[in-house]
A and B are shown apart, each in its own frame.
Chain A
Amino acid sequence: MSAIITLSLLAVLLLYLGLFKAKKALLPVSLLGLLAAIVLYSIQWDTDAEPLYSGMVLFDHFAVAFSILSLFITGLVFLLSRDYFDSISEHVAEYYALIIFSLTGALLVVSFHNLAMLFIGIEIMSVALYILVGIRKRDFSSNEAALKYFLMGAFSTGFLLFGITLIYGATGSFDLTEIKNYLIANPHSISPLFYSGILLLIIGLSFKVGAAPFHFWTPDVYEGAPILITTFMSTVVKTAAFAGFLRLFLTCFVPLQDFWAPVLLVITVLTLFIGNISALAQQSFKRMLAYSSISHAGYMLFGILSIGAASAGAIFVYSAAYSIASVVAFAVLILVKRSRGSEHFEAFNGLAAKNPYLAFTLSVAMLSLAGIPLTAGFVGKFMMFSGVLANYHIVLLLLAVLNAAMGIYYYFRVIVAMYFRPADREEVTVNANYKAVLFIGALLTIAIGIFPSLLAGWL
């Protein structure tokens, strides 16, 4: 909890730094704050996890691992933010503060132990994002994205709240332990309200993670938002939303698996196919990443579908691999867009000749997203698929493998463009922060790919 308090105060401090024109201090102070939060979480790792504050939050290994992952990825995003916000607007401090606020919400979502906390965490996370998506006020697509995201987000929160209400109506409590005890105590006389509650919760959370058929906002919002905000959304927010999803289902709803698994199965298969098939048709790299993030949501839903002791570890590794690779991909996209002014695949032509370092790190990220062995993405996919194989029919696995093959095709388009399509271009200038992020990203991707136990042992 001390980490969450630190972060809230950090955000307020950043706001005031912005008031007193201390722009230079913003980035170091935020990074220091994130580091402090990571340290505070690491200290908690070995202590016995008890629900705190009348059972509102629980900092078990699950919560701490996902929190550290979110903090780490936010740190990478902040490193990329040097000079980035200056070009958008003069209120730089507010962007840092809002990202930290959003992160605070994400940390609450991964560590909730009461549905009231889940709701308030999701709200803090989303309200900050609605604003961040629309920070380019004079840009039409940014406005559209913000409005779409806000309306869709508010609508889905309605479903979520209704679901929580019905579950409260059936069990008389918001507490996860109480809800679980209710299910164990009345295995045969569960109130019908409870079933509707689960369905509505699935709908609300599917909206938040961008799973089909509730994915319609994702491509437009990801494309309209500034690239750095898209990076934050598709990594930290998605990870946190999945962690919250999994935490709710893993703690409470396992006894009712026969009821909700078919619904989730349909959502998963739809998400995979819609994400991958649409990604095939894209000409813009950013939009392709948006659709591919939908398909990755599909893979991560496998973890919830084959719920069990291993699913937390699988989702953790998968989201770590996916987040790190996405940060690298978006970082290169920012650089390429800055030099070429375009987000299309053609903008990457001949990148390998002039910027071999950029091309190499992006290739590693793409290989990881595609799930090629020796990268982190492969480990994540492997853990997911083995979970599916243990619990489900082989047909589902074949569908997943088919989708992975589709993914390989569109991820390789970028690599082909970079290495085999010559084009006249100048060298892209890369500042030290970007170099560092790309290095860390590529290194971690390969390290996790070769030594999976680095992460897989956490949960």
Chain B
Amino acid sequence: MGAGTSSTHLIFFIVAMVIAAGVAGVIYTNVNAISNASYTSASTLAQQLKTDITIINDPDNIPWSGTEYTFYVLNTGKSTLTTEYVSVLINGEYIPEAVIQKSIINGGSTTTWRPEDILEIEITYNIPNGDNYIKVITENGVYDSFEFTR
């Protein structure tokens, strides 16, 4: 085998190693990305499964004062929620945070909403007379809707 042939073999060998290492790197990057995404997705799904809320108002007796209405939402799930990320829709219309006051009944914290705690939501909004519905949505998309009359 001449020096030229040896050099060619050496170059082929190095190129093969580089390609193999490159392929291994690409596989690692992709599998790692899929694995991380799967973990995040599983965590989100787990949180959703553990979350459950129930609006417990009397549908014919929503406490109100002027245009301020009070709704009670019970955390009937097993996960601790954050009140800051709770959104409210009334008759399909998003209610801005500025007109909502949230507090936990008999609770120490106003932001941590533990299982079995009741979140009191006071909304200043012009709710029309007659049949209405409210939808309360938690941070992970789990919601409860409730029909009531004013």
A, B bound: no
A interface residues, Cβ below 8 angstroms from B: none
B interface residues, Cβ below 8 angstroms from A: none
